[in-house]
Amino acid sequence: MTTFLQLVVVGISTGSAYALIGIGLVLVYRTTSIINFAQGAFAVIAGLVTARLVGHVPTALAAALAVALVAVIGALMGFVALGRRGRTTPLASLIITLGLALLASAVELYVFGDVPRSYASISRHAWSLGGVLIEPQYTLIVAVTFLAAILLTALLRRTIVGHALVACADSRRASELVGLNVRALGVVSFAMAAALGALAGVLLTPVIPVTFDSDVGIAVNGFAAAAFGGLVSIRGALAGGLVLGIAENLVVGYINPQYELAIALLIMLALIGWRSRNEVVA
C-alpha cells in the first residue's frame, strides 16, 4: 500500500507538470487552431538555461529569468508559426512548429551539448507521511501548477486581454470584425503557453534531468493531457495530466519503466476513441 501511495504521490506531481504543458497547448490551439509541436521545447530550454545560471545567481532568480526568456522566445516562435496572413493553413503552421522545435533542439545541442542537465531541488529534506515520502519539490510542482491554472483562468475571465483571447477562441472571424488584432492575440497566446511550458521545465528539471531531445517525450505527454479535455479545456488538461501522471508512475513502478510513454498513448487513444463516438465528423 505504501508503494502504491508513493507512486501516486510522484504521479500527481509529474502529472501536474504535464498538465502545465497541456494547458499551453490548449491555449494556443483555442486561439489559433495551431497544434504547437514546440511546446516541449519551451520546457527544455527553460530547464537548460536555469541549469546554466544556477551557481551564478540564486535558483529562484535563475528560474524566473529562464521563464521570462522562454516567453520571449515563445512570442517569436508564435510570430513565425502564424506565417503569412491568409496564406498559412493550420497544417502548414503545424509543420512550421515542428521545424521550430527541431531548430530549438539544434541550438540546444550546439550550446549545451548532449549531456542531461539538472540542478538541486528546493530541499533535500523529505516529509514522511505514514511511510510515504513527500519531497518538497513534488509539493512545489503541484502548488505552482494549480496556482498557474487559477491565475490563468482569472486572467481569461477578468482582464481585457483575457476577454479578447476568449473571443478569439470563440470565433476568429467575429473577433476580426469587432476590430481585435487576431494575429497579435495569437502571438500573446504563444508567449503565455511558452511561459507555462517553461514553468513546467523549471520545476521538472531537478526531478528529471533534461537534454536537447527531451522535448519530444514532454510534448507527447502534454498533448495526451490536453487530448483528455478534447484540446479545448483547461480543466480537462489539468485532469488529463493528473490521470496520465498517476497511470504512468504505476506502470513504471509495477510493470516496466520503458512502457511509460506507451501508457500515455494508450490512454490517449482510448479517450479519443471514446470521445469520437459522440462527435459528429464534419
Contacts to other proteins by CB under 8 A: 29, 35, 37, 80, 83-84, 87-96, 98-103, 105-107, 109-110, 113-114, 213, 216-217, 219-220, 223-224, 227, 231, 256, 258-259, 261-262, 264-265, 268-269, 272-273, 275-276, 279, 281-282
∠223-103-94 over CA atoms, to 5°? 40
CB 266 within 8 A of CB 244: no
Residue 128 beta carbon to other proteins: minimum distance, rounded to whole angstroms: 33
Looking at the Cβ atoms of 109 and 154, the one nearer to other proteins is 109
As to burial, measured by CB atoms within 10 angstroms (0-12 exposed, 13-18 middle, 19+ buried), residue 62 is buried
Structural element, H or E, at residue 3 = helix 2-32
Looking at the Cβ atoms of 62 and 224, the one nearer to other proteins is 224
Looking at the Cβ atoms of 191 and 227, the one nearer to other proteins is 227
Structural element, H or E, at residue 160 = helix 160-170
Residue 228 beta carbon to other proteins: minimum distance, rounded to whole angstroms: 12
| Closest to 224 (Cα-Cα) out of 46, 40, 77 | 40
Residue 32 beta carbon to other proteins: minimum distance, rounded to whole angstroms: 13
Looking at the Cβ atoms of 110 and 128, the one nearer to other proteins is 110
Residue 102 beta carbon to other proteins: minimum distance, rounded to whole angstroms: 4
Name the CA dihedral angle for 149, 238, 255, 218, rounded to a multiple of 10 degrees: -60
